[in-house]
Chain A
């Protein structure tokens, strides 16, 4: 197994037709990477260039440490599964599997042994004497896979291997290929135009269009943080609904009667300088929900079409800001009948915003979760035997944790390139990709350990190349401590103890904090949200009481809370 590196690789066909332009990618040893894109985007050409079946016009391709630009396919030590199987029709399955070993002058006994073990792995032992024409589509594809596996090559290449199979078989083979990857731990490069295959199989996905790489990222990140409209609409089924809007203050104007108010989370993520400008709004069909008359975003008179798919129901309707039908996906029973008019609400934390050049204007200020070892010493917490968080127990949301394994949560913007304090948390990463949006300087990197993905921001004048090794530093007071399931157990800030569990209730447009104690309600007529911490299932809300002391409330994540929000208190009636 080896890593595969492509540096500025381009392919230009006769007549100056550019199939691939400046392709840069480093595929890790043992990684499962997917090239995805519409027909003619250059994904298969790139794969064929790696295989040596297509000459490259410019750039360099390395397999391991070897530059393979001028090396014949047979000497590259790779294996490939073709879309149309490409089995040798005149040979039996046994000979098909053993052909590459014969070419490498292996002994007959070795060939027999290896063929039998691969046949066992792929469950095709009974088929060894048959000719390809006597096999079903699935069996042929399995033989093609076996031909790849037999040699233990440096990299496995797959050129749309499942596109000729029927839907059921495709799902089955998909999981089998994923399992195989885990078993053989090889470097898999997989080309597909099927976004489901891309999303379910790969460690990382390369999205391509017209020969250019659009985004390289993990499936979840591609889905949640698409860098442009193309990526946003290419991944996800049904595809994202795109609206033309104008930003005015914190409102997105769809037409004179319809607008959406940005949530605090989205506002925080948005890049500055887009007020009063035309933008593109993207809403995934699953981010709509049925709303009440009192609190809705869209009122729809008539539903054009209802498609009941069993697990979800798709509504096709006309919304302002968009000429085509908008698709809304709802989780509802097949029996339920839906007719207009209906009220719809949008999950405004999950909307996507793009500028007029179709580039995303939402920053990826993700948190990075880094696995560490945790150890309590008196009231202090020792992280990775190196860093000490003083007085941890007084800040922690828990008094003890079950395991020594935990995680450190570091906001992307907290990372610095230089050490500012002696006790700064240090992490070494390798640059994987740059966020291609012009207005930000966000890099995606990877830690050597477990391929942990790190996102960090840096000054615009700093530039890194793919593969650069960078040391990042985060001040200890920016770190939060989580258990190994990413639940925050300490927010590194001044948080009061004890934490009070309360309920919240929305009445009209106002939020109320419910408390059983009349004295509490009297003492805190209203509370101003000064800090808000996301604890997955719960939220931690920090305010000051009238005496100026911290007051920390733990609430359910039912509603959209944001900093600066005013909450009223009310006595909670207890049923007897």
Chain B
């Protein structure tokens, strides 16, 4: 009787172990498939950038037959028609300044909406939410007319201005973060004798590092991929951004297009690795009893 009970319980334990292993295998299989689906286009683009023939039509299957660095070399040397280094520099300038101005404006807006209680607060929040629901190209005509009035069409600073001015509409994520900072920390600071400006600089900003980094990264990456606005506002070739410039390449220059696209990732990746250490969670742990 005793042996039977023992056998039964050991069989149950075995079954449990097998189930656990099988479950883990299934989860990993799904993850690998999802990763492959996500990584395949990147891999394809990277390999295409090394294509020796250069044209999309010369590739027999998915991948090129022969590889070379020609596309990358041409990207930076053959600048007569397609001045990639200039586009890269333009985009970098727009991205850097957009990153600075947008981050300042978004963080400022989110902090004010989250921390201060004022009469128009709810009205402003609702209007911002409704406005942000409209696609940005709806205002293209208006923006173009406004920019011509200000005489900043075909000027990269005009683009910086538009990006920075519209950025605060997307303050909701940042406000959500500020809402999680316990109110009692602000109250303690007030009682300790801090002014609002001091509270913002010495308490809020240090605590908001992760969200500032997130905002900076998203603001920095946006101009690299945006096409519609630069296409509308930047007319001369030398003022183009990478996205606009690459679209002008011919069909037989696909390798060059791919190389240009791959190269865009470099500044973003560099910035990401530089800032990622600040994107740690749990900045507020220990502040209040959880």
Chain A residues with a Cβ under 8 A of chain B: 51-53, 72-74, 76, 78-80, 82-90, 99-100, 103-104, 131-135, 137, 140, 147, 151, 164
Contacts and interface: CB of A to CB of B under 8 A. Distances in A.
A135 B190 contact: no
A99 B189 contact: yes
A74 B194 contact: yes
8 contacts: A73-B191, A76-B191, A79-B191, A84-B288, A87-B188, A87-B288, A88-B189, A140-B289
B287 A85 contact: yes
A85 B289 contact: yes
Interface string B258-290: 000000000000000000000000111111110
Given A82-B184, A84-B288, A89-B283, 16 more contacts: A53-B191, A73-B191, A74-B194, A80-B187, A82-B187, A82-B288, A85-B289, A87-B287, A87-B288, A88-B203, A88-B287, A89-B285, A89-B287, A90-B283, A103-B189, A147-B192
A134 B182 contact: no
Contacts of A87: 185, 188, 286-288
A86 B283 contact: no
Contacts of B23: none
A88 B185 contact: yes
B187 A53 contact: yes
B189 A132 contact: no
B198 interface: yes
A74 B286 contact: no
Contacts of A151: 192
Nearest to A84: B288
Nearest to A72: B190
B191 A80 contact: yes
Interface of B: 182, 184-185, 187-195, 198, 202-203, 206-207, 282-289
A103 B192 contact: yes
Contacts of A133: 282, 285-286
B81 to A, nearest CB: 52
Contacts of B286: 87, 89, 131-135, 140
B206 A90 contact: yes
Contacts of A78: 191
A72 B194 CA distance: 10
A510 B217 CA distance: 95
Contacts of A86: 182, 184-185, 187-188, 287-288
Nearest to B184: A86
Contacts of A53: 187, 190-191
Given A84-B184, A89-B207, A74 B288 contact: no
Contacts of A89: 185, 207, 283-287
B288 A85 contact: yes
A133 B283 CA distance: 9
A90 B207 contact: yes
A82 B188 contact: yes
A103 B194 contact: yes
A486 B184 CA distance: 47
Nearest to B185: A86
A84 B285 CA distance: 12
Contacts of A135: 286
A501 B206 CA distance: 79
A103 B203 CA distance: 12
A348 to B, nearest CB: 47
A173 to B, nearest CB: 14
Contact of B289 (A51, A52, A164): A164
A106 B34 CA distance: 58
A52 B193 CA distance: 12
Most buried by B among A78, A89, A90: A89
Nearest to B206: A90
A364 B283 CA distance: 56
Given A89-B284, A90-B283, A103-B198, A84 B182 contact: yes
B252 to A, nearest CB: 56
B210 to A, nearest CB: 12
A51 B191 contact: yes
A84 B289 CA distance: 5
Contacts of A80: 187-188, 191
Nearest to B290: A84
Contacts of B184: 82-84, 86
B285 A137 contact: no
A221 to B, nearest CB: 32
Contacts of B191: 51-53, 73-74, 76, 78-80
Contacts of B198: 103
A429 to B, nearest CB: 35
A296 B286 CA distance: 58
Most buried by A among B195, B207, B282, B287: B287
B148 to A, nearest CB: 47
A151 B203 CA distance: 20
A74 B207 contact: no
A140 B288 CA distance: 9
Nearest to B209: A90
Contacts of A134: 286
Contacts of A73: 187, 190-191
Contacts of B195: 74, 103
Contacts of A74: 190-195
A445 B202 CA distance: 47
B207 A100 contact: no
Nearest to A95: B202
A34 to B, nearest CB: 20
Contacts of A51: 187, 191
Contacts of A83: 184, 289
A78 B191 CA distance: 7
A103 B288 CA distance: 22
Nearest to A90: B206
A53 B187 CA distance: 7
Contacts of A52: 190-191
Contacts of B207: 89-90
